[in-house]
Chains A and B, each alone.
Chain A
C-alpha cells in the first residue's frame, strides 16, 4: 500500500512539475511589465479608432454638403 501511494505521489509530482515547466511569461505578470504592453497596444488601437472617427465625420460632412 505504501509503495502504491509512493508511486502515485511520484506520478502526480512528475505531472505537476511538467505542468509548471511550461515556459509562460510569469515574470512579466509578476513585475507588471505586461501592463506596458497593454498600454502600447491600447494606444495604437486608440489612434486607429480616432482616425476612423475623423474619417467618419468628414464623410458625414461631405454627405450633408452635396
Chain B
C-alpha cells in the first residue's frame, strides 16, 4: 500500500455516504419520493467521470510538454476509469428513469420514444463514444511514441467535445432531466436542501477518490508490465 491516507479518506467518505445517504431526511417530492437519494450515487458517477477526464486531459498535456512515458500511461488509465464511471452513470440513470419518467398511461417500451430524445442522454452518449473512440484509436497504433503523441492530441480534442456535449447543449434545451434550461438543482444552494448537500459533496469526493485509486492501481500495473516487456 502506497500513500494510503487519501485511500482511507475515500473509503470513509463512501461509508458515510452509504449510511447518511439512506438515513437523512430528504425533501418530500411527489414525483421523486425516496429516489431522490440517487443523487448521492447516480449524479456522483458523472461528477467522478468529469474529474477523471480532466485529470486524463491534464496528463495528456503534460505528456506533450515533457515527452515522459508515464504521463501517457496515466492519461490512458484515467480515461479508462472515467469511461467506467460514465457507463455506470448511464446504467443507474436508466434504472432511475424507468421509475420516474415513464408515462403511466403507456408501457415502458412505448415511453421510450420520448426518453430517447432527451438532450442530456444524447449528449452523454456522444461524450462516452468520443472517449471510446480514444481507446480504439490508441490501441490500434503499434509504435509506442507515435501512439502516445497521437492519443494525447486526440485526448485534448475529446475533452473539448465534453463542453458542447455535456456542459452547454443539454443546459440550453428543455428536458425531463434536471439541470437543463432551468438551472442545476443539485448545485444550486436554493434548491437542494442543506441536508442533502451535507451528503452530496462528500459523496462526490468519496467516489472520485475510489476512481483515482483504481486508476493508480492500473497505472502501476501497466508500468510493471512494460518493464517486464523491455527486459
Chain A interface size band reads 20 to 34
Is the pair A37, B28 in contact by a Cβ cutoff of 8 Å? no
Number of A-B contacts (CB under 8 A): 54
Across the two chains, which residue of chain B brings its CB closest to A22?
A: B28
Question: Complex formed: what's the CA distance from A20 to B28 in Å?
Answer: 8
Does more than half of chain B's interface fall in helix, strand or loop, or is it mixed? helix
Q: Known A24-B34, A56-B1, A59-B221; judge A42-B18 contact (CB<8 A).
A: yes
Across the two chains, which residue of chain A brings its CB closest to B227?
A: A66
Smallest CB separation, A53 vs chain B (Å): 7
The answer to whether the Cβ of B174 comes within 8 Å of any Cβ in the partner chain is: no
Question: Complex formed: what's the CA distance from A66 to B15 in Å?
Answer: 36
Is the pair A24, B1 in contact by a Cβ cutoff of 8 Å? no
Question: B residues within 8 A CB of A34?
Answer: 22-23
Question: A residues within 8 A CB of B221?
Answer: 59
Q: Which of B18, B22, B34, B220 contacts A45 (CB 8 A)?
A: B18
The answer to whether the Cβ of B214 comes within 8 Å of any Cβ in the partner chain is: yes
Question: B residues within 8 A CB of A29?
Answer: 23
Smallest CB separation, A57 vs chain B (Å): 6
Chain B interface size band reads 20 to 34
Is the pair A45, B14 in contact by a Cβ cutoff of 8 Å? yes
Question: Complex formed: what's the CA distance from A25 to B221 in Å?
Answer: 44
Question: Complex formed: what's the CA distance from A57 to B1 in Å?
Answer: 5
Question: A residues within 8 A CB of B29?
Answer: 22
Q: Known A38-B23, A42-B15; judge A62-B224 contact (CB<8 A).
A: yes
Is the pair B224, A45 in contact by a Cβ cutoff of 8 Å? no
Question: B residues within 8 A CB of A19?
Answer: 28
The answer to whether the Cβ of B172 comes within 8 Å of any Cβ in the partner chain is: no
Is the pair A41, B34 in contact by a Cβ cutoff of 8 Å? no
Q: Known A24-B28, A38-B23; judge A66-B2 contact (CB<8 A).
A: no
Question: B residues within 8 A CB of A53?
Answer: 1
Q: Which of A37, A38, A41, A49 contacts B11 (CB 8 A)?
A: A49
Q: Which residues of A contact B (CB under 8 A)?
A: 18-25, 29, 34, 37-38, 41-42, 45, 49, 52-53, 55-57, 59-60, 62-63, 66
Identify 18 residue pairs between A and B in the complex whose beta-carbon atoms are under 8 Å apart, listed by A's number: A18-B30, A19-B28, A22-B33, A25-B34, A29-B23, A38-B19, A42-B19, A45-B14, A45-B18, A52-B210, A53-B1, A56-B2, A59-B217, A59-B221, A60-B1, A62-B224, A63-B224, A66-B227
